[in-house]
Amino acid sequence: MLVNNTRSWGGLLLAASFFSTCIFPGCKNDKYKDWKVYGGGKENTHYSALRQIDTSNVSGLEIAWQFNTNDEDKLTQMQVNPMIFDSTLYCVSPKLKLYSVNARTGVQNWIFDPALVQNIIPSGDKGYSPLNNICRGVSFYDGGKNDKRIFYAAGAFLFCIDALTGRPAVSFGDKGKTDLHQNLDCDCENRYVISTSPGVIYKDLIIVGTRVAENAAAAPGHIRAYDVHTGERRWIFHTIPLPGEAGVETWQDKEAYLHVGGANSWAGFSLDEEKGVLFAPVGSASYDFYGGSRLGNGLYANCVLALDAGTGKRIWHFQTVHHDLWDRDLPTAPVLVTLRKDGKTIEAVAQVTKTGFVFVFDRATGQPVYPVEERPVPHISDLTGEQPSATQPVPTVIPPFVRQSLSDSDLNNLVPDSSYQDIKHRLATYKTGNIFNPPSRQGTVIFPGFDGGSEWGGPSYDPETGILYVNASEVPWVLTMIDVKKDTAKNGSTQTNVEAGKSVYTTHCMSCHGANREGGNSYPSLRGINKNYDDSTFIGLLNSGRRMMPAFKELSDGEKNALASFILDIKDKQGKPFVKDAKKEDPYRTMPYTATGYNKFLTREGYPAVKPPWGTLTAIDLNSGNVIWKDVLGDYPLFKAKGIHTGTENYGGSVVTAGGVLFIAATKDSKFRAFNKNNGKLLWEVDLPAPGFATPATYEVNGKQYIVIACGGGKLGTRSGGAYVAFALPEKK
């Protein structure tokens, strides 16, 4: 077999062909013929046994229907993997409205608008609602003829909706909803707690994870299970252990649980329903980039967790990054797989990462199927108080599916020489060459970037062949730390509002919006924001949060006013004395360092500073660990016109089918593509109304197979959209 060098970005790889018959025990194709669960099934395989659309006819696909939500704006995104039950498709709009749609025609059945529910928008917030966030899908509970429930999160609220009527199921929680700030075993009412990925149903439980803030004031990311009928919390697993719980010994400060947040399972779950085992990917502890106040390996941050789905009790765990300083959350739920290795059948879980690793564990014990080595890594930090881990776990046998280091020879040579010399000079000033270089004042290259490697879309897995298909981005970023100047001003001091506002911005805002307020990635620029906000509406935004932005209710009134005077450039308030409100500071949340923002390493022209490919699609045989084929995913029009296939950053995952086809959108260029799963050959592509930064779903109605994708755009500088587009083969005449 020939495997393309990952530094080459033209052409396809040769591949061995595979039989379409199932080769693993327990692989029953009938099990995979619907799409009733986010990701295609609770195993999170993104696999369908449908085969009406196959390699011979996929090029004939046509639009079957298009459903427009019509509520997008220039800032919205839509990342939904829709769910289909009894010929009905359930989906969510950019503004988090829930729809029931005829899966054959695309005609709306009903709509539920969470913004119309009372008591979910705090008073005085001037309409800046926590509902303006991301929802990636819904969960479906089927309790019989008259008991079918949709669970989905809009901001901080988990809703239970009658699937037949679209009305809240009033027996659940508070008239059909529960506030996820509550029942966290901490005082988290004023902290940022929302849910973006759908929970998973186990018997009469809905199990959910949350997204929390990235800063030092983050809430903990404990995993919870609720009764599907009453909304009562049935169990909780503390991802940051409490005294007396296993794992607390991995924190040097045994009271860390009182102060440290994060370690949240925001990316969803997979479930071995037969054995009753939940598999949860866990993110980093906060603050993301400085760990001097959370020394130690810090379980259960950055772990694959196996929990008893009925009780929440831990069965096993494996930590993929020790003392994370790079925001290397596990970005997607692991995939439940069945391998043939050394003549044995192994039930396993495969976990892909932002760094491009594939970890494979025995499902029952958590032991690595392929050896994982603890390797020495750079561990001397120039940040006072920081103690990086001296070793990190590195999986062997299966090679990384992305490049992991950046040197002069890797730099982008498609740009003019002056631009090339600029990035070469800048690279010489950064720490580079090892994915575990600690954050630094000089700047540390993060490659692959903060958004992967793999991201929340996750891989697809073919149980017929044992092949894992993973799409990835390969774009370098630069993490630069600066000292936070201590505010020693007291009441009556001569410090001005603008001086205090700059200090608050540096501490709380700069890590997302940048040193010069120019924004980056999904974080908008704050320059010119005074055209849309005055001090009242801006403070309302601080109190409520919006989309990617958490609420900052922990700031005092004086700090909010000072920040408003600085960001909105309110001249008549900037020179006035800053009045420091009396409040008790938590020293654990007063970081001595902060990052200057999420900054991509780009050329002057705005292209990644590394040579292509910038987006890839890789097929990996989990039985042997071999890469079967690898191709470039996506195009930049300028380079495509010159015959250069670059790939693009990509968000959302793929779907693989028994018909031999792999479907994926995900790319910046607004294409939806179909590949031959056996060899990576491109079979079909079509333009979408907006980029499909989501995972498609495929299903069958009345004997006809459909493939549908959410076209939400809104990332990577692309236009936003609000359409679901379904494709099918034309009717035979």
Quick check: 335 pLDDT over 60?
yes
Could you give the CA distance from residue 607 to residue 600 in angstroms, rounded to a whole number?
A: 10
Give 17's pLDDT tier (boundaries 50, 70, 90).
very low
Kindly report the backbone phi and psi dihedral angles of residue 685, in degrees, each rounded to the nearest multiple of 5, phi listed first: -150, 150
Query: How far is it, in rounded angstroms, from Cα 704 to Cα 696?
Result: 17
* 308-322, 451-465, 528-542: least confidently modelled range: 528-542
pLDDT of 42-54, one tens digit each? Answer: 999 999 999 999 9
387's tokens: 């103690």
- 489 pLDDT more than 60: no
**Chain-centre distance for alpha carbon 215:** 17
Condensed to tens digits (0 to 9), the pLDDT of residues 234-251 reads: 999 999 999 999 999 999
Q: Are 135 and 190 in contact (CB under 8 A)?
A: no
Measured CA to CA in angstroms, residue 491 lies from 565, 576, 579, 581, 603 at distances of 18, 13, 6, 8, 47
Cα distance between residue 363 and residue 365, in whole Å:
6
For residue 638, give the 3-state DSSP assignment: helix
For residue 385, the model assigns a pLDDT of 96
Q: Hey, what's the torsion of the CAs at 594, 598, 600, 605, to 10 degrees?
A: -110
CATH of domain 1-77+615-733: 2.40.128.630
Structural tokens at position 521: 């990635």
Q: With a cut of 90, say whether residue 492 has pLDDT above it.
A: no
Residue with tokens 């009406």: 52
Which of 713, 663, 656 is closest to 688 using CA atoms?
713
Return the closest-CA partner of residue 112 out of 146, 66, 162.
162
**Tokens 């900054």 — which residue?**
599
For the chain, give the mean pLDDT: 90
Domain with residues 485-590, CATH architecture: Orthogonal Bundle (1.10)
Alpha-carbon distance of 583 to 413, in angstroms, equals: 54
Structure token pair of residue 575: 């020179």
pLDDT in tens, 498-536: 888 787 887 778 777 887 887 766 677 888 888 888 888
Residue, of 230 and 577, whose pLDDT is higher: 230
Domain ranges of the chain: 1-77+615-733, 485-590
Q: What is the pLDDT of residue 613?
A: 98
* Spatial CA neighbour of 83 closest among 698, 673, 713: 698
Q: What is the DSSP letter of 439?
A: P
Helix (H) or strand (E) holding 557: helix 557-567
Strands (E), 228-310: 233-237, 270-272, 277-281, 303-308
* Cβ–Cβ < 8 Å for 213, 291: no
- Cα angle 181, 184, 185 (rounded to 5 degrees) comes to 135
- What percentage of the chain has pLDDT greater than the value 70? 91
Contact yes or no for 723/689 (Cβ under 8 A): yes
Predicted local confidence at residue 308, as pLDDT: 98
**Entry pTM:** 0.90
Query: What phi, psi does 171 have (nearest 5°)?
Result: -75, -15
pLDDT score, position 550: 72
Of 322-326, 400-404, 496-500, which gets the smallest average pLDDT?
Answer: 496-500
Pairing mode, strands 671-676 and 83-85 = unpaired
Q: What distance in Å separates the CA atoms of residue 292 and residue 306, rounded to the nearest whole number?
A: 29
Half-sphere exposure in the Cβ direction for 278 (13 Å, CA): 30
Spatial CB neighbours of 641, under 8 Å, sequence gap ≥ 6: none
* Interval 670-689: pLDDT, tens: 999 999 999 999 999 999 99
Do 156 and 193 form a contact (C-beta atoms < 8 A)? Answer: yes
pLDDT in tens, 87-141: 999 999 999 999 999 999 999 999 999 989 866 654 433 333 556 689 999 999 9
Q: Are 179 and 208 contacting, i.e. CB atoms less than 8 angstroms apart? A: no
Q: What is the DSSP-derived secondary structure letter of residue 114? A: G
* Strand order through the sheet with 177-179: 139-142, 148-154, 157-162, 177-179
Q: Give the Cα separation of 232 and 358 in Å (integer).
A: 37
Residue with tokens 């073919």: 462
pLDDT value of position 615: 98
Give the chain's end-to-end CA distance (angstroms, integer): 43
Nearest Cα residue to 454 out of 267, 587, 286, 279: 267
Amino acid at 234: R
Which residues are 225's β-sheet partners? 207, 235
Task: Say yes or no to pLDDT of 445 above 60.
Answer: yes
pLDDT at 624 over 70: yes
Question: What b-and-e string marks burial along 105-126, b requiring 16 or more CB atoms within 10 Å of the CB?
Answer: ebeeebebbbeebeebbeeebb
pLDDT at residue 548 tops 70: no
CA 499 to chain centre: 35
pLDDT at 208: 98
Residue 195 has pLDDT above 90, yes or no: yes
**How many beta carbons lie within 10 A of that of residue 51, not counting itself?**
15
Res 20 pLDDT > 50: no
Name residue 249's amino acid.
E
Give the pLDDT band of residue 557 (cuts 50, 70, 90): confident
CA 679 – CA 150 distance, rounded (Å): 38
Tokens of residue 79, six digits? 């990342």
Contact 620, 433 (CB under 8 A): no
Tell me the two tokens of residue 429. 């000033």
* φ and ψ of 303, to 5 deg: -115, 150
3-state secondary structure 348-369: EEEEECCCCCEEEEECCCCCEC
Tens-digit pLDDT profile for residues 54-78: 999 999 999 999 999 999 998 899 9
Locate 540 and state its tokens. Answer: 């309302």
DSSP 517: S
Q: What is the pLDDT of residue 28?
A: 52
Q: Are 225 and 233 in contact (CB under 8 A)?
A: yes
What share of the chain in percent tops pLDDT 90?
Answer: 75
> Bigger pLDDT: 651 or 494?
651
